[in-house]
């Protein structure tokens, strides 16, 4: 069984580890020598994202395809790179996954959203994801592919958590009244993707997140206590002097339901809240 990853970042690499441990062959695209070296060091096959022939050949024997690269002003980069080669190879993966964002829902003033909630992206990034989801679902219908989208909140894990920011002295406890975010440990994300690969449903969209949306300030304070550090002081959002991109992020507040993924995929997060997730990272030396 072969998994083809368009993009070998934090999330794709976690899924590669999980599937390789179960005997899957992993092929991943790269841009530049550093990315190629990282893929090779992990024991996987790398394909230059600009090498159309190599991509076509790799897709011909692919059972699962995951697009992790974010969309830009011209849409999803995987669209141009993959659709033609899929057709040329006569490839029909059993499962095609697209990593999207819970930003497609926009701001809900702390209210709950499910996969059936209206898409109302307010940020540039969220709007691009709405378009990319739409485009991939259309490709799935047109080419007879089983396409699933995964709407993700903030992703954390070893090497990318509140611990790293605290140790670097850059963590901030930004406070906005009533504001909460959902998040997911990268290993729980990979487990959710694996569960979908085992139970593919064309046109499915799933929220993969933990069970407890929480304010940013709570997460930073808890991580600091685990490290035996004094938590940084709280800073009001209006005083934080954030970048425009960060302000767009903090302009949204919602609670994201993961009930559909649990019901359809039999998935349960190993780290149902940030507390279990952070404790596990620290215990592993992260």
Mean pLDDT of the chain: 96
pLDDT in tens, 2-14: 999 999 999 999 9
pLDDT in tens, 75-114: 999 999 999 999 999 999 999 999 999 999 999 999 999 9
Q: Please give the pLDDT value at position 4.
A: 98
**Domains of the chain, earliest start first:** 2-155+183-211+256-270 (3.40.50.720)
* Least confident segment among 142-156, 168-182, 267-281: 168-182
Q: Please give the pLDDT value at position 188.
A: 98
pLDDT in tens, 211-222: 999 999 999 999
Q: Which structure tokens are listed for 201? A: 């449903």
Distances (CA, A) of 160 to 111, 185, 250: 27, 10, 19
């Amino acid at each position: 069984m072969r998994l083809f990853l368009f993009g070998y970042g934090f999330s794709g690499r976690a899924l590669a580890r999980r599937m390789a441990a179960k005997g899957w062959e992993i092929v991943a695209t790269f841009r530049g020598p550093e990315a190629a070296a990282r893929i090779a060091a992990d024991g996987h096959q790398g394909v230059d994202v600009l090498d159309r022939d190599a991509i076509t050949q790799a897709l011909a024997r692919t059972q699962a395809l995951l697009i992790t690269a974010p969309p830009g002003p011209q849409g999803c980069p995987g669209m141009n790179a993959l659709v033609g080669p899929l057709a040329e190879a006569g490839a029909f993966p059993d499962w095609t996954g697209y990593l999207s964002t819970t930003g497609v829902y926009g701001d809900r003033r702390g209210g709950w959203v499910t996969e059936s909630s209206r898409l109302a992206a307010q940020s540039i990034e969220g709007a691009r994801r709405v378009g990319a989801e739409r485009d991939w679902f259309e490709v799935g219908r047109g080419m007879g592919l089983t396409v699933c989208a995964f709407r993700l909140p903030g992703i954390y894990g070893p090497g990318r958590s509140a611990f790293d920011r605290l140790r670097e002295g850059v963590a901030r406890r930004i406070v906005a009244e009533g504001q909460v975010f959902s998040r997911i440990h990268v290993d729980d994300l990979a487990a959710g993707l694996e569960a979908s690969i085992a139970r593919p449903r064309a046109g499915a969209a799933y929220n993969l997140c933990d069970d407890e949306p929480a304010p940013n300030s709570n997460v930073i304070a808890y991580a600091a206590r685990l490290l035996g550090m004094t938590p940084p002081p709280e800073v009001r959002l209006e005083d934080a002097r954030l970048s425009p991109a960060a302000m767009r992020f903090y302009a949204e507040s919602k609670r994201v339901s993961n009930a559909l993924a649990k019901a359809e995929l039999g998935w349960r997060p190993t780290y149902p809240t940030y507390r279990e997730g952070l404790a596990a990272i620290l215990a592993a030396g992260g």
